[in-house]
Amino acid sequence: MLNKIFGSPQQGYSGAPTPQSISHCCIGKELMPRWRGPEQMDDDTNALGFVCHACGREFGHDMVRNRKISQS
């Protein structure tokens, strides 16, 4: 009965876009920390991770130094 009112749901799925290489997007740009809550926002070591706003990729503390990708 609801299908008559709202129509049938779309059954198609689209694949996730292929993420860009880190070197093309995130290196050299400042990443934004992702916080658990406002009480942890004083220090970057309390961040859950760091996000590139250009591509949405998230990085852990092991890959980030001073809010930028560490090239080690």
pLDDT digits (tens, 9 = 90+) for 6-18: 777 666 666 666 6
Tally of structural domains, the chain: 1
Classify residue 13: in a domain, yes or no. no
* 65, part of any domain: yes
Q: Give the domain extent around 55.
A: 21-72
Whether residue 48 lies inside any domain: the answer is: yes
Any domain includes 4:
no
Write out the chain in H/E/C secondary structure. CHHHHHCCCCCCCCCCCCCCCHHHHCCCCCCEEECCCHHHCCCHHHCCEEECCCCCCEECHHHEECCEECCC
Within a domain: 68: yes
Query: How does pLDDT run across 4-49, given as a tens digit for each residue?
Result: 777 776 666 666 666 666 767 788 889 999 988 888 788 888 899 9
pTM for the predicted model, two decimal places: 0.62
